[in-house]
Chains A and B, each alone.
Chain A
Amino acid sequence: MADSVYITGMGILSAIGNSVEETLYSLSNNKSGIDKIRYLETLHKDEFVAGEVKYSNQELNAIAGIGNYNRTTLLGYLAAKQALDNAGVADVQDARTGFISSTTIAGMCHTELVYKDFFDKKTNENFFDDHFSGVSSNDIAKHLGITEYVTTISTACSSAANAMMLGARLIKNNILDRVVVGGVDPLSKFTLNGFNTLMILDKEWCKPFDDNRKGLNLGEGAAFLVLESGKLVQQKNKKIIGRLLGYGNSNDAFHQTASSPEGYGALLAMQKAFKVAGITPDKIDYINAHGTGTPNNDLSEGLAMQTLFNNNVPKFSSTKAFTGHTLAAAAAIEAVVSLLAIQNNMIFPCLNRSTQMNDLTITPVDVLETNVPVNYVLSNSFGFGGNCSSLIFSKN
């Protein structure tokens, strides 16, 4: 117990809901949040679909009520606040509490709106105060009252997994007693156009693990978990949601943007997570895969799963067809999905699939499964720069 890291709260805003309850409702009713782009101003509005949080910036500002901030800070604050409320933490100063956020674009959602005028027309609205990574984490931490430890991680699409892993390690190293961990990325023209140049966006709904998959849909959102030490949980007699049992981080060291064909980095990350968790792969009841829907990821990840589980791959799905790929936030959003699977004995489906992948022997869960015992979940997240991370959550 002393060495364990417990999850005592979670908070989430994504395309499929602005709370844990709404998220569960969407997941268990096949309700995807991916739709025509409504909030982001872009030339490609009618060309692509995306998983947007269904609030404008004005609405988010009004709901958060902490002053005028960019979308990154507002989404992050709201999700982190939900998580602390959910964990029943009234005073963050009653124990050594940290805040670890992660983001890939930080303030870019604002920068891209004012950049051209700032440099070309020498207008005064600058982006100095909110562009850099770290600013939004500091602002969120300030409004949550957290001062002990505040940092920000950016490892592309695996960012939030690393935030959660770092949080768990800080607790195990007795540096913190409690830590709010997760990630946030709003949709931006920068990322939409960037992924478009890579030609890995599907203009229709994405089809993870389908033989005819064409690419990903971008999403946006934020999710945070409250991690607490076994000691604090005992002391305060806290209700727990689950445990962060294992974590593994590795680098594919293959290519700046592509995964190695056999998924070596992914395999290593999963193996390390099992080592830390101290369980064997056969314990896993469900894998929430990274499953972006790009030809490269799903094949590479699928092969790594087949290797690790020696062809006895447990039930798995990607829930990115619900939320879109939320980049830095993805691992945190999928941590909430994993914990909802554990709490509700459900396995959420991989939407939009029709054709078995030729190069894989495994098939994801296509239809919602209920009343299945889910005690151990593996969740994968991989990113540019070869960054691969895996987490293992357990019920007890």
Chain B
Amino acid sequence: MTAYINGLACISHHNTIDENYFFEDLPIDPLQNKLLATEPVYKDFIPAAMIRRMSHIVKMGVSAGITSLKKAGQEKADAIIVGTGIGCYDDTDKFLRSMLDNDEQLLTPTSFIQSTHNTVAGQLALLIKCHGYNFTYVHQNLSFEYALQDALMLLNEKEAETVLVGGIDEVNNSILELFDRAGYIKKTEATKGYKIGEGAAFFSISSIAQPSASAKINGVKCKQHIDNSDQLLKETNLFIESIGLNMSQISLVLSGNCGDEQMDKKLSEFNEKTKLPTGYFKRLCGEYFTSSAFAVWLAASIIKKQIIPPAIIDSNETISNIRNILIVNHYHDQQYSFMCVSIC
């Protein structure tokens, strides 16, 4: 199952919503351990009257979603599929906090209404008047992968010609404290944990390439559990073969190392074994459940621009003619995923 990325947009720690920006301002401060999103001027994307009522995640999701459609020259899509690991956490947090602080009394509905996981998909449908298929996957770090897999299946079934698909997650102070006190946020480069991130990446995809197409998605596969780097290598080979390629055709691996040595152990060993040029995308976006959507956006952008941001690679070798990018991701050494983005 293959789909063309006719339009794409990304909000991340860097100014990625600007399509002319491509990480020229790096390196970033290595001690920055919370890679919060650089928010665009939302009124450029969303009707002003709606912005006021929208939460951070909804604003990010709607802006990225609408922008990706625009880049594809579309106003509508036949289906909307969203993946989110945490969901609308800030509104959940607000309602929960006020319920507990006020002893279940004198509550207002706004944050409850916006706390449901499908809010972004619902708001996108509302905004572009899309009555079609509407789905939200909430399966931690595989949320975007399952959303993408569903989108490919929908195109294959001819149930939709164009699908708006994206991955999105937000952090707020309490989630940062939760991750920090659980020991997952890096204190210095040397400690365990990772840099935490947030963001939204959306894609307008179709079985037919439009002139605006930047790349194509060749396949996606998820694996609940991986025992060791040999199994990771074996599963990767199976995946690559299943989409009609072999490992020698991979120009670049975008590896989901989070920066925690222990969690990354299998992936680091795997990267050594493949001997392929490897880029580390979480250096740019941080670790979050739907960082793999950022990785797909990065892969498509690299293919279109034929430029690899120097910040993500360690070797000095020049890589040219970038045709196929393999994305391998994990979260806390669990739930691995494989995706391939290729030149059109």
Contact = CB atoms under 8 A, between A and B. Distances in A.
Nearest to B58: A256
A257 B109 CA distance: 11
B118 interface: yes
A119 B99 contact: no
Contact of A194 (B95, B139, B156): B95
Interface string B155-188: 0110000000000000000100111011000000
Interface stretch (B123-131, B255-263, B291-299, B314-322): B123-131
B247 interface: no
Given A193-B107, A196-B107, A256-B126, A153 B224 contact: no
A386 B133 CA distance: 11
B96 A249 contact: no
Nearest to A147: B224
Interface stretch (B18-26, B28-36, B63-71, B142-150): B142-150
A42 B137 contact: no
A387 B143 contact: no
Contacts of A264: 131
Contacts of B134: 155, 249-251, 385-387
Contacts of A153: 135-138
Given A119-B177, A126-B181, A252 B99 contact: no
B135 A132 contact: no
Interface centre among B85, B119, B136 (most CB of A within 10 A): B136
Majority DSSP secondary structure for residues of B touching A: mixed
A265 B131 contact: yes
A116 B133 CA distance: 38
Contacts of B92: 108
Given A169-B157, A190-B95, A251-B80, A150 B139 contact: yes
A194 B115 contact: yes
B135 A133 contact: no
Contacts of B136: 153-155, 385
Contact of B130 (A104, A196, A253): A253
A196 B122 CA distance: 22
Interface string A119-154: 100100011100011110110010000010111111
Given A155-B134, A253-B126, A385-B118, A133 B178 contact: no
A119 B129 CA distance: 40
B286 interface: no
Contacts of B224: 138, 141, 147, 150
A173 interface: yes
Contacts of A156: 116-118
A357 interface: no
B222 A256 contact: no
B248 interface: no
A115 interface: yes
Contact of A197 (B87, B107, B114, B130): B107
Contacts of B115: 194
A61 B118 CA distance: 30
B240 to A, nearest CB: 18
A126 B182 contact: yes
A251 B104 contact: no
B114 A132 contact: no
A385 B80 CA distance: 12
A257 B113 contact: yes
A129 to B, nearest CB: 8
B177 A154 contact: no
Interface residues of A, number: 63
Interface in A189-232: 189-190, 193-194, 196-198
A304 to B, nearest CB: 13
B253 interface: no
Contacts of B80: 251
A387 B107 contact: no
Interface centre among A104, A106, A384 (most CB of B within 10 A): A384
B85 A134 contact: yes
Contacts of B140: 132-135, 138
B127 to A, nearest CB: 9
A383 interface: yes
Contacts of B132: 250-251
A133 B139 CA distance: 6
Interface string A12-44: 000000000000000000000000000000111
Given A112-B96, A133-B139, A190-B95, A384 B122 contact: yes
Contacts of A141: 224
A387 B131 contact: no
B133 A250 contact: yes
A197 to B, nearest CB: 4
Contacts of B178: 118, 126-128
Given A44-B104, A154-B136, A385 B121 contact: yes
A377 B13 CA distance: 50
A265 B222 CA distance: 32
A128 B97 CA distance: 17
Contact of A112 (B100, B123, B137): B100
Nearest to A104: B116
B143 A134 contact: yes
Contact of A133 (B103, B108, B117, B150): B117
B291 to A, nearest CB: 15
Contacts of A193: 95, 99, 104, 107, 112
Interface string A172-196: 0101000000000000011001101
B113 A386 contact: no
Interface string A223-260: 00000000000000000000000000111111111000
Nearest to A124: B181
Nearest to A252: B131
Contact of B118 (A106, A112, A126, A383): A383
Interface in B60-105: 80, 85-87, 92, 95-97, 99-101, 103-105
Given A44-B104, A190-B96, A265-B131, A384 B137 contact: no
B273 interface: no
Q: Closest 10 interchain pairs by CB?
A: A385-B122, A194-B112, A133-B138, A154-B117, A197-B109, A134-B140, A251-B134, A385-B118, A251-B125, A134-B139
5 contacts: A132-B289, A154-B116, A154-B138, A156-B118, A197-B109
Interface of A: 42-44, 103-104, 106, 108, 111-112, 115-116, 118-119, 122, 126-128, 132-135, 137-138, 141, 147, 149-156, 162, 166, 169-170, 173, 175, 189-190, 193-194, 196-198, 249-257, 264-265, 268, 383-387
